[in-house]
Chains A and B, each alone.
Chain A
């Protein structure tokens, strides 16, 4: 009997104790839950503070560029430094600057790199290599394009660079294929907030088999080779075809890295560090050795003058397909109206 009473007593006490403990556990779990939310907030705030630092570094670099610009302008205003003027034709240069003017060709280029858009530039690069220009400034703004077109253009640019200094300038973007090409110039000058690199290769396959079925669209192919229709969107890819595509992307990627390494005089291993398709802003790219200088177009022109040791420089504005050439060639300047812009992924920053 006594043992029963004792047991009841202990059961009651234990029950109470156990309830209290459970209550404590519940409270602690609640506390942990709140702390986890705090942790998320702390992580988020840390991330934001890192971004604030990134922003501050970017703007510091931008303001330093501005101070360099103002100092140069002051030297120009005080007559301590010559201003390099630009012209639309060679005859204007001869008239204004003189027959002995050292012509710096300024070729502007915006838009996508593909086999159609590069044609006039291939012509320009070939001709500029042989003509009277002392140096070439390429003013580029591109988000990239096709791998094969980028390679063609890079080779043409590299040949040009063997003959005379080539300086690339970008105030906006030299991304992907644009960087592929730019990396093979002698020097790259960009704005501290310009976008650089985005080194990588991508290829997509859309399989709309089910979609066509739903819409009642039937497609028939007449083919002999089993893979001839692999780039169409009416079916999925076989393992063999996947492998082909994967290998092609890998080959293009390796060659991309190789071209950048050759152009920049970097080790491939070094290039690979920055080849995870990250879009760097100019100030970062300078730290990583992906560009040579931060500045405006004027800095690129100045660098071209310096590299070519031009004594009496004048700029000749060229359009796609143009070159400095001989006088009679001027009429051949091709307007870049034929260049069209394909729909391209959301890559631009809007302000």
Chain B
């Protein structure tokens, strides 16, 4: 009897204990649930905040893109006016010099100053048209924009034809399409369009090699290009900003100068490269042909019957001014 009542007591105790444990557990879980619900509400509102801010930004982007579109239209009509004025001034001649300027490898700020000097002064030299013989796989530090601007300066005064025998890639291509015609050899390649940025961080490597690097700096981001550390979130954003600016430059350039729709242009910024034949089909270039063909086209545009090609060194131009 005593055993049975002891058992009953123990059971009772256990049950009470178990029940109180469960009650505590239920209360805890309920509290947890309400905390999580609160957190979820917080996250939800943060998400909708970011989404709203994003939508606001995109609204502005849309507006800006339509303004860019308008600017492109305006620039186009101004360009057409410039070119018709130029063509109106071109008189048919028997013989005329066609200047050939070679632009090779990567277009860097160091080299571009020489090219621009030539392009600037060739406006008033004794050549009737200019062939830019470009073999380039890219441009750094905005040199493509800068070179392009001066191709346009020159083009206002005389026809400019770009010829490539090896290939025009990346920034070389971006600059090339500022000209009147782009003629590429049958065996050359075109492409590698799109922006590219690189950040290097050697910190792990240095650690492995037993090299300790101490950075003394003033200006929060001063060491961001010095390979000593990974980028912080602000710097990630900066890189992304530059990337997007370059991307939009390339696509609007394709829209403006090649008439390629903006979305299609963005697809073309894939880093792919194509044979010149494919590039012709994609509308990236005007014609397949050799240097002689480029000279011929330049002569046609300048209404020269017998072209005399002359090679110009970067930084030079044909000294004698144009006879009138």
Contacts and interface: CB of A to CB of B under 8 A. Distances in A.
Nearest to B89: A77
B222 A17 contact: no
Contact of A53 (B40, B47, B61, B109): B61
A42 B52 CA distance: 10
A4 B11 contact: yes
Nearest to B223: A202
Given A171-B143, A211-B209, A200 B79 contact: no
Given A210-B210, A253-B218, A350-B197, A141 B113 contact: yes
Nearest to B50: A42
B60 interface: yes
Interface in B157-177: 157, 170-171, 174
A17 B226 CA distance: 60
A73 to B, nearest CB: 5
Given A25-B33, A96-B321, A351-B144, A200 B218 contact: yes
B245 A281 contact: yes
B124 interface: yes
A47 B224 CA distance: 19
Interface stretch (B94-102, B180-188, B248-256, B296-304): B248-256
Interface residues of B, number: 116
B142 A55 contact: no
Interface residues of A, number: 115
A69 B149 contact: yes
B213 A73 contact: no
B81 A74 contact: yes
Interface stretch (B115-123, B278-286, B305-313): B115-123
Contacts of B117: 86, 108, 317
Contact of B156 (A73, A139, A191, A206): A73
Contacts of A7: 12, 15-16, 19
Contacts of A277: 217, 219-222, 224
A262 interface: no
A346 B240 CA distance: 16
Given A77-B85, A201-B217, A249-B217, A70 B79 contact: yes
Contacts of A28: 33, 36-37, 40
Contacts of A171: 109, 112, 142-143, 145-146, 149
A310 interface: no
A347 B225 contact: yes
Contact of A203 (B194, B199, B200, B217): B217
Contacts of B50: 39, 42-43, 45-46
A21 to B, nearest CB: 4
B222 A202 contact: yes
A63 B248 CA distance: 12
Contacts of B211: 206-208, 210-211
Contact of A54 (B33, B79, B124, B245): B245
Given A59-B249, A211-B211, A70 B216 contact: no
Interface stretch (A8-16, A128-136, A155-163): A8-16
Nearest to A295: B149
B113 A139 contact: yes
A205 interface: yes
Contacts of B54: 42, 45-46, 49
Contact of A51 (B109, B217, B237): B237
B93 interface: no
Contact of A191 (B146, B222, B223): B146
Interface in B75-106: 75, 78-79, 81-82, 85-86
B58 A49 contact: yes
B6 interface: no
A199 B217 CA distance: 11
A345 interface: yes
Contacts of B121: 85-86
B143 A17 contact: no
A65 B224 CA distance: 30
Given A14-B22, A204-B216, 10 more contacts: A51-B240, A51-B241, A53-B57, A60-B67, A63-B252, A141-B110, A171-B109, A203-B215, A281-B245, A350-B170
7 contacts: A14-B19, A57-B64, A59-B68, A67-B75, A173-B142, A350-B195, A351-B174
The 7 lowest CB-CB distance pairs between A and B, nearest first, are A200-B219, A210-B210, A277-B219, A253-B218, A200-B222, A171-B146, A56-B64
Interface of B: 8, 11-12, 15-16, 18-19, 22-23, 25-26, 29-30, 32-33, 36-37, 39-40, 43-44, 46-47, 50-51, 53-54, 57-58, 60-61, 64-65, 67-68, 71-72, 74-75, 78-79, 81-82, 85-86, 109-110, 112-113, 116-117, 120-121, 123-124, 138-146, 149-150, 152-153, 156-157, 170-171, 174, 194-200, 209-228, 237-238, 240-250, 252, 319, 321
